[in-house]
Amino acid sequence: MAVPCPLFNTYKEFVNHTNDEPDPCLPWVMDYVMAVDAQLKPMEGYEVVRGFLRAYSNVEATFVSYRTHAERLLLWALLIRKKPVMELRRADAEAFLEFCASPPLDWVGPVTRSRFMVSASDADYPVHPNHRWRPFAGKTVGSAADAYDDARGACAPYQPARASISQAFSVCSTLYEYAVDEGLTSTNPFRAIKQKSRFKTSRGTALTGRALTPLQWDFVLSTAEKMAAALPELHERTLFIAATLFSMYLRVSDICGRVNWQPTMSSFKPDHEGNWWFHLIGKGDKAAKVAVRPEYIDLYLKRYRRYMGLTELPLQNEHTPLIATLSGRPGLSTRKVRSIIQELFDSAADEMVSEGRQSGEIEALKIASTHWLRHTAATLDAPWRDAKDLQMDLRHNNLATTQDIYYSSYEDKRSYSLRQLGLKNRD
Q: Where are the domains of the chain?
A: 11-145+157-201, 214-411
Position 407 scores a pLDDT of 78
400 vs 298, which has greater pLDDT? Answer: 298
Top-confidence residue, 60 or 427: 60
Least confident of 45-49, 257-261, 266-270, 383-387: 257-261
For residue 404, give the nearest of 381, 387, 383, 386 by alpha carbon.
387
d(C-alpha 331, C-alpha 276), whole Å: 22
pLDDT over 50 (residue 206): no
Give me the pLDDT at residue 98, please.
Answer: 92
- Compute the radius of gyration of the chain from its Cα atoms: 24
In order of 36, 40, 213, 246, 424, the CA distances from 208 in angstroms are 38, 34, 8, 16, 37
| Tens digit of each residue's pLDDT (9 = 90 or more) over 101-111 | 989 988 998 77
Amino acid at 307: Y
- pLDDT category at 419 given cuts 50, 70, 90 is low
Give the per-residue pLDDT at 134.
Answer: 92
117-127 pLDDT, tens digit per residue, is 887 666 677 78
Phi, psi of 426 (to 5 degrees): -95, 5
The candidate with the shortest Cα–Cα distance to 338, out of 206, 201, 192, 178, is 178
The enclosing H or E element of 116 equals strand 116-118
Cα–Cα distance, 189 to 172 (Å, whole number) = 9
pTM to 2 decimals? 0.59
Per DSSP (E only), the strands in 139-291 are 140-141, 154-155, 268-270, 276-281, 287-291
Is 127 within 8 Å of 24 (Cβ atoms)?
A: yes
Taking 60 as the threshold, does the pLDDT of residue 409 lie above it? no
> Are the C-beta atoms of 212 and 365 separated by less than 8 Å?
yes
Rounded CA-CA distance 390/171 in Å is 26
Average pLDDT value for the chain: 85
pLDDT tens, residue by residue, 53-92? 998 887 787 888 999 999 999 999 999 999 999 999 999 9
Q: Kindly provide the b/e burial profile for residues 369-384, where b requires at least 16 CB atoms within 10 angstroms of the residue's own CB.
A: bbbbbbbbbbbbbbee
Which is nearest to 97 in space by CA: 176, 164, 194, 187? 164
Q: pLDDT tens for residues 139-160?
A: 433 333 343 444 434 445 566 7
Distance CA 122, CA 411 (A): 61
Across 65-91, b (16+ Cβ under 10 Å) vs e yields bbbbbbbbbbbbbbbbbebbbbbbeee
Q: Are 172 and 96 in contact (CB under 8 A)?
A: yes
Question: What's the CA gap between 225 and 241, in Å, rounded?
Answer: 12
Q: How far apart are the first and last CA of the chain?
A: 74
In terms of pLDDT, which residue wins out, 229 or 286? 229
pLDDT, tens digit, for every residue of 334-386? 879 988 999 999 999 999 999 999 887 787 787 788 889 999 999 999 989 99
Phi, psi of 101, deg, nearest 5? -75, -25
3-state secondary structure of 136: strand
Band (pLDDT 50/70/90 cuts) for residue 95 is: very high
Asked if residue 93 has pLDDT above 80, the reply is yes
Query: Rounded distance, CA 266 to CA 158, Å?
Result: 57
Please enumerate in sequence order all residues whose Cβ is within 8 A of that of 388, keeping only pairs 6 or more positions apart, or say none. 399
Pairing of strands 136-137, 108-109: parallel
Residues 6 or more apart from 152 whose CB is under 8 A from it? none
Task: Supply the pLDDT for residue 369.
Answer: 83
pLDDT digits (tens, 9 = 90+) for 390-399: 999 999 888 8
Beta-strand relationship, 116-118 and 127-129: antiparallel
- Residue 143 φ/ψ, nearest 5 degrees: -160, 160
Return the percentage of the chain with pLDDT > 90, whole number: 53
Domain 214-411 is classified in which CATH homologous superfamily?
Intergrase catalytic core (1.10.443.10)
